[in-house]
Amino acid sequence: MRFTLKFTHILLTFAILATLFASAFAQEPSQPQTHGIAVANMDRSVKPGNDFYQYANGDWIKRTEIPPDRGGIGVFTALAELSSKRTADLIDEAAKGSAPAGSGVRKLADLYNSYMDEAGIEAKGLAPLRPHLDAIGAIRNKRELARALGESLRADVDALNNTNFHTPNLFGMWVAPGFNDSGHYAAYLLQGGLQLPDRGYYLADNEHMRDIRAKYQAHVSAMLKLAGFTETDARAAGIVNLEHAIAQMHLSLADSENIHKANNPWKQVDFAAKAPGLDWREFFRGAGLSKQNEFIVWQPSAFTGESALVASTSLDTWKDWLAYHLIEAYGGLLPKAIADERFAFFGKVLAGTPEQRPRWKRGVEVVNRFLGDEVGKIYAQHYFPPEAKAEADAMVANIIAAFRKRIEALSWMDPSTKAEAQAKLSTLYVGIGYTGTWRDYSGYEVKADDVFGNVWRGILFDYGRGVARLGKPVDRKEWSMTPQTVNAVNLPLQNALNFPAAILQPPFFDAQAPAANNYGAIGTVIGHEISHTFDSEGAAFDSKGRVRNWWTPDDLAHFEAATAKLAAQYDTYKPFPDLAVNGKQTLGENIADVAGVAAAYDGYHASLSGHAAPELDGFSGDQQFFIAFAQNWGSKTREASLRQQVMTDPHAPGEYRAATVRNIDAWYAAFDVQPAEKLYLAPADRVRIW
């Protein structure tokens, strides 16, 4: 599931965390623990062939209420709650101990306690922010502006695993293996400058978005006023107009996902000619990148356009823009009035969430963001036994073997293309549970009474770590997630997968459940991540993680025709009358779902070793497999959150992910789906890719 929520702006994320999620199916604490599919949550009055999502999840949907501090609810959110509680307990235990100053355990406790010290935050007021606002106010010309914009550059975006491609800084940097030299870390630069989730929030001409923009401008004015600015309405209008102009320069998420269009190496000396308007020499000086000779520019047209805006927009407007973005970024660390105003817009208006999450949960997110591996070491020891790792390893091996057989059986693929596809599987690194190399935080200073400084230094620590890695050899087994993260990821530049410990537990993975349930639940997640190796993005990378075309022309044409057919299928899904799923934007995830279910199904049958699958409550093994898959995606989501997901997330909403089964022949046989039923697709219309 490639929906890693990178902390582009750590405290903005707190306001909208859990609104952009691929929600799954939750078993309420009041329900008896089951080992296998949750039959009590099904609505068997619905025909599977008419609405498989409601059939698998309908009764749960009817009786479930979304908590007031959530944009939606499902298994991912339920497990995230469990992981947060466990993490908080581990932090509390660390705080009670006598760990020496400067140790990792002491840093955990001090960082968490600094965030929880609301009285101390109120007492300091705006004092922590003031020197940084004063520095912005002292900018005298566009040359100094360029330097300040460079100083705000952060390595806090992940182009291949983020829900969108924007950062509230003018540009964002991502440090990762190079497209063309995957053995060394390269600097990727990405479009940025927007505070709202996506360009569509600025450009869409409909009543809903016009209302959002009006409320956003009022929010900008309110934040500036709370920070002591005058004439805030006029300043807010200038900021929003500037962001609107930036949005016009941005590529859409769907267009940004084209890896070949993103592979644009620019020398540092090229920027002045290719993107005039910004003093790039000063920008790179401010960013500490004067000696970095080459960058990969992900969206060249956005860089050209945004640089021109630096020249054409007044210095005062840019200074207001910088000040507002700074206030917004750190608002959750400032007095309550500012934090509440931030949530009032980003939580209530933008995500439709009535209440903010309890502070202790937000504190856990702070610790996970800046000291995630330090927590992870303890978490893995407590909650991921060797037996769970061994069982997960066996499932992965079965599903990879199934994928190998599927590739070999493809009649349309040339042997040379098959050989490279098999090589990708042979070199694929699969991390289960936790990393083998924990991150070193010795250079990160944490103070028990300075949450603003802790976050400021943490962001700079991460940025410095990224810059220091440029040009260095790549660690292909490095993890991008912590053990306590409820998620999974494919890392195409490393040809690697991560399955953190927190997702390898019920209801996804249950040692006491039938194989049908485990393969339908966590098995399809594993199959999904393996399939990303060969989706519309992953297929652009070879077995060494380089961007290289390893397809014959005929094979590539066949692949693109099949994927276009899948994109068209998803274009027909409309969660709202005025908003449809974007089949191109969600294509990579939809490919991974189709191929992942198919491979997991084959892996499940291989695991039976020829034996008959046991029935459960009258359901056959195949029926259990497909129901477990659909129950992964049962969810309830608030309208504002769902709209945000459709516009900004490369994943389709859960009900349409569950509909993936209409492309799988075995599903039709399992539930006797007939041509007159709504989900039925004629065999020729079913999408078969891998």
pLDDT at 33: 62
pLDDT-derived band of residue 495, with 50, 70 and 90 as boundaries?
very high
- Is residue 308 scored above 90 in pLDDT? yes
Other CB atoms within 10 Å distance of the CB of residue 147:
18
Residue closest to 197 by CA, chosen among 588, 649, 579: 649
Asked if residue 500 lies in contact with residue 490, where contact means CB atoms within 8 angstroms, the answer is: no
Does 372 map to a domain? no
- Give the tens place of pLDDT for each residue, 537-580: 889 999 989 999 999 999 999 999 999 999 999 999 999 999 99
Calpha distance 58→53 (Å, rounded): 7
Q: What is the pLDDT of residue 6?
A: 33
Q: Give the pLDDT confidence score for residue 22 in this predicted structure.
A: 34
C-beta atoms surrounding 549 within 10 Å: 11
607 within 8 A of 510, measured Cβ to Cβ:
no
Instruction: Give dist(CA 456, CA 129) in Å, integer.
Output: 10
**CATH number of the domain enclosing 163:** 1.10.1380.10
Q: Which helix (H) or strand (E) holds 50?
A: none
pLDDT for position 511: 85
Q: Is residue 100 part of a domain?
A: no
Six token digits for residue 245? 């102009």
On whether residue 582 sits in a domain, the answer given is no
Residue type, 369: R
pLDDT score for 19: 31
pLDDT for the residue 271: 98
Query: Which strands form 496-500's sheet, in the order they lie side by side?
Result: 429-433, 496-500, 489-491
* pLDDT tens digits along 196-235: 999 999 999 999 999 999 999 999 999 999 999 999 999 9
Instruction: Give tens-digit pLDDT for 637-689.
Output: 999 999 999 999 999 999 999 999 999 999 999 999 999 999 999 999 999 98
Phi-psi region for residue 125, left (φ > 0), alpha (ψ -120 to 50) or beta? left
Q: Is residue 616 part of a domain?
A: no
The residues, any chain, with a CB within 8 Å of residue 538's CB and separated by 6 or more, are 490, 492, 532, 588
- Is there a domain that residue 190 lies in? yes
d(CA 377, CA 6): 20
Q: Single out the residue of 57, 117, 140 nearest to residue 319, CA to CA.
A: 140
pLDDT of 164 above 80: no
Which residue is it, tokens 């405290």?
A: 11
Nearest-angstrom CA–CA distance, 454 and 462: 12
pLDDT at 315 over 90: yes
User: 375 with 108: CB under 8 angstroms?
Assistant: yes
Q: What is the pLDDT of residues 516-528, one digit of tens each?
A: 999 999 999 999 9
pLDDT of residue 27: 39
pLDDT, tens only, 39-66: 999 999 999 999 999 999 999 999 999 9
State phi, psi for 647 to the nearest 5 degrees: -80, -30
- Written as one string, the DSSP assignment of 239-305 is HHHHHHHHHHHPPPHHHHT-HHHH--EEEGGGHHHHSTTS-HHHHHHHTT-TT--EEEES-HHHHHH
Q: What is the pLDDT of residue 7?
A: 31
Residue 592 lies in a domain: no
Measured CA to CA, the distance from residue 239 to residue 50 in angstroms comes to 48
**434 three-class SS:** coil
Task: Please give the structure tokens belonging to residue 581.
Answer: 């799923």
- What stretches of 143-264 adopt beta strand conformation (E)? 171-177, 185-191
Task: Kindly state whether residue 519 falls inside one of the protein's structural domains.
Answer: no
Share of the chain above pLDDT 70, in %: 93
Q: Which pLDDT score, from 0 to 100, does residue 29 have?
A: 38
What pLDDT shows up at residue 160? 65
d(CA 661, CA 247): 37
Domain region containing 231: 129-333
pLDDT exceeds 50 at position 448: yes
Whether the per-residue pLDDT at 165 is higher than 80: the answer is no
Give the closest residue to 646 by CA, choosing from 564, 589, 566: 589
- What pLDDT was estimated at residue 468? 97
| Predicted confidence (pLDDT) at residue 20 exceeds the cutoff of 50 | no
Residue 11, pLDDT > 50, answer no
Place 497 in a pLDDT band, splitting at 50, 70 and 90: very high
Q: Is the pLDDT of residue 320 over 70?
A: yes
The average confidence (pLDDT) of the chain is: 91
What confidence tens digit (pLDDT) does each residue in 406-421 have? Answer: 999 999 999 999 999 9
Is residue 313's pLDDT more than 70? Answer: yes
Q: Classify residue 358: in a domain, yes or no.
A: no
Residues near 371 by Cβ (< 8 Å), separated by ≥ 6? 104, 107, 108, 111, 441, 444, 446
Angle at 310 between CA 308 and CA 316, to 5 degrees: 150
pLDDT for res 12: 33
d(CA 439, CA 419): 36
Phi, then psi, of 387 in degrees rounded to 5: -65, -40
Angle at alpha carbon of residue 181, lines to 175 and 182, rounded to 5°:
65
Number of independent structural domains in the chain: 1
pLDDT at 359: 95
The predicted pLDDT at position 385 comes to 86
pTM of this structure? 0.90
**What is the distance of C-alpha 28 from the center of its chain?**
25
Q: How many CB atoms lie within 10 A of CB 419?
A: 12
Tell which wins on pLDDT, 671 or 6: 671
In 3-state terms, what secondary structure has residue 491? strand
pLDDT mean over 87-116: 90
